[in-house]
Amino acid sequence: MKQRRVVAYVLVGLCLTIAGCARPEPATQEVYPTVQPLPGRIAFLSSRDDGEATVYVINSDGTGLTRLTPPEMPVNSPRWTAGCRQVVFSARDGIYQVDTDGSGLEHIKQLSSFSALAPSPDGKYIVFDAQEATSRVYNLWMMSADGVGAEQLTNCSFDCLAPEWSSDEQTIYYWAAENDYTTPPIRYTLNKTDVYGRKHTVWLSASETADIISLGPISPDGTQFVMTKEMDQDEHTDIFTLDIASKTWHQLTDDHAYYDRPAWSPDGRQIVFMRYEVPSRPMSRAFPSIAGLWIMNADGTGRFELVPPIGVNGSPDWCAP
C-alpha cells in the first residue's frame, strides 16, 4: 500500500483515466454544520469529461465552474501562479500554463513524463520533479516561472518527488525513496533542502512517514503541514495537520469516508479536500469511482460541498481573489 506514494501526486490522475469503475453503494452520511467558504478560486482535476483528468477552476462558493484544458489532454498537478493569474500543470510531455478562462495555453517546459510541481509563493520560480531518461530516477529541479533555465536540486539514487515550498521561500520539502521497486515495500523519508540544493537533511524518517499517503502544502503562516494518513488495513484515510516546530499530529477527520489531497485556503483558516467512498475490497482506495470536493474549517469542524461527486474530482489548489 505504501508503494503508492511514489505516484502520490498523480493519485487523481491515475483514478481519472480509469473508465467504467463500479459506482459505490450509497452510505449513511454524517451530518456536519454548514460552513461559509472563504472567498477565493480553486483549481482542481476532474474526470467528468470522458474519464480523463482535466483542469477546472471554480469559485469557493461553488459558482463559476470553468474548464481550462481540453478533455483529450490528460493532465496532473494543477497549481495557481501568484496573484491567481494563471494555472500551471503537468502533462505527459511536460509543464504547461493556462489563463483562468482557458485561453493562452502554453507549453513552458518539455519533459518526458508527468511531473509534480510547486510554484514559489512569490511566483518567480517553479520547483518540479522530473524523470531522467537513462536511470528512470526522479530528481528535483528549479526553473523560472516562464520555463527558462533549469537547475538540478537533488542527485538521488532513488526517486525524489513531490516538492513543497516553505512559506518563507527558504526551504523545499520533498519525498526521498530509500529503495527501489525491486525490494518492496518502498520506504520514504521526508527531506528538506535549501533553495540552492546544497544542504539536504532528513526531516521525518521512514518509520515516521510509514502511514502518510499524501503530502499537502505548508500553511500560509508557515507553522504546519496538512497531510493524509492511512488508518487501518482497509486503507481508510483521514486528514491530519503536522506542526512543524514540535512534529505533533492533530487529526481533523474521523468518519466512514475516505479523504485525500487536502490544501489550505489562502489565509489558512479553511481546508479544501477530496472525499470519497470505497464500496468494498478488492476495490482499492487508489481508484475511487466517484469523489467530490469539500471545504471544512482548519480545526476540522463544519462542511461545505464544493464539487459534487460527478466523476472523480481531486488535487485542489486554493488561490486568493
DSSP per position, 287-316 = S-S-EEEEEEETTS--BEEEE--SSBEEEE
Cell digits for 14?
Answer: 491515475
Cell digits for 310?
Answer: 460527478
The yes-or-no verdict on residue 5 having pLDDT over 60 is: no
The yes-or-no verdict on residue 21 having pLDDT over 90 is: no
How much is the pLDDT for 236?
A: 84
How much is the pLDDT for 285?
A: 53
**pTM for this predicted structure:** 0.89
Neighbouring residues of 251: CB distance < 8 A, sequence distance ≥ 6: 238, 239, 240, 300
Q: How many domains does the chain have?
A: 1
How far from the centroid of its chain's Cα atoms is residue 80's Cα? Answer: 12
What would the pLDDT profile of 259-272 be if each residue is shown by its tens digit? 999 999 999 999 99
Confidence at 26, pLDDT banded by 50, 70, 90? very low
Contact call for residues 264 and 220 (beta carbons, < 8 A):
yes
Contact call for residues 315 and 78 (beta carbons, < 8 A):
yes
Contact call for residues 86 and 97 (beta carbons, < 8 A):
yes
**What region does 10 belong to: left with phi over 0, alpha with psi -120 to 50, or beta?**
alpha
Report the chain's mean pLDDT, rounded to a whole number: 88
The yes-or-no verdict on residue 241 having pLDDT over 90 is: yes
6 three-state secondary structure? helix
Cell digits for 54?
Answer: 482535466
The yes-or-no verdict on residue 126 having pLDDT over 70 is: yes
Confidence at 279, pLDDT banded by 50, 70, 90? low
What b/e readout covers 158-170, taking b as 16+ CB neighbours within 10 angstroms?
Answer: bbbbbbbbbeeee
Q: What is the CATH number of the domain that holds 247?
A: 2.120.10.30
Average of per-residue pLDDT across 101-116: 94
Interatomic CA distance for residues 218 and 35, integer angstroms: 22
How much is the pLDDT for 180?
A: 85
Contact call for residues 77 and 90 (beta carbons, < 8 A):
yes
Residue 83 structural domain = 2-319
How far from the centroid of its chain's Cα atoms is residue 137's Cα? Answer: 20
Which of the residue ranges 16-20, 132-136, 144-148, 163-167 would you say has the lowest mean pLDDT?
16-20
Q: Supply angle C-alpha 145, 149, 153, rounded to 5.
A: 90
